[in-house]
Structure 1
Amino acid sequence: MNPILAMLKEHNISDAQISELFQALTQNPLAAMATLGQLNLPQEKLQSLMEQLMQNPALIKEAVEELGLDFSKVEEAKQRLQNN
Structure 2
Amino acid sequence: MNPIIALLKENNISDERINDIFQVLTENPMAAMLTISQLGLPQEQLQQVMGQVMLNPALIKEAVEELGLDFSKVEDAKAQLDKQ
TM-score, normalisation: structure 2: 0.91
Q: Which residue of 2 aligns with 1:78?
A: 78
Aligned length: 83
**Partner SS for 1:69:** coil
Shift in CA distance, 31/52, structure 1 to aligned 2, threshold 3 Å: closer
Q: Which residue of 1 aligns with 2:10?
A: 10
Q: Which residue of 2 aligns with 1:33?
A: 33
Q: Which runs of 5+ in 2 are unaligned?
A: none
Q: Percent identity?
A: 67
Distance 1:83 1:61 in 2: 21
Task: Please state how far the C-alpha of 1:24 moved relative to its aligned partner.
Answer: 0.5
Q: Which residue of 2 aligns with 1:57?
A: 57
Q: Which runs of 5+ in 1 are unaligned?
A: none
Deviating 4+ runs (over 6 angstroms)? none
1:43 maps onto 2:50 in alignment? no
TM-score, normalisation: structure 1: 0.91
The Cα RMSD (Å) is: 1.2
Q: Contact conserved, 2:33 with 2:50, CA < 8 A, in 1?
A: no
**Partner SS for 1:73:** helix
Letter in 1 for 2:64: V
Q: Which residue of 1 aligns with 2:21?
A: 21
Task: Please state how far the C-alpha of 1:26 moved relative to its aligned partner.
Answer: 0.6
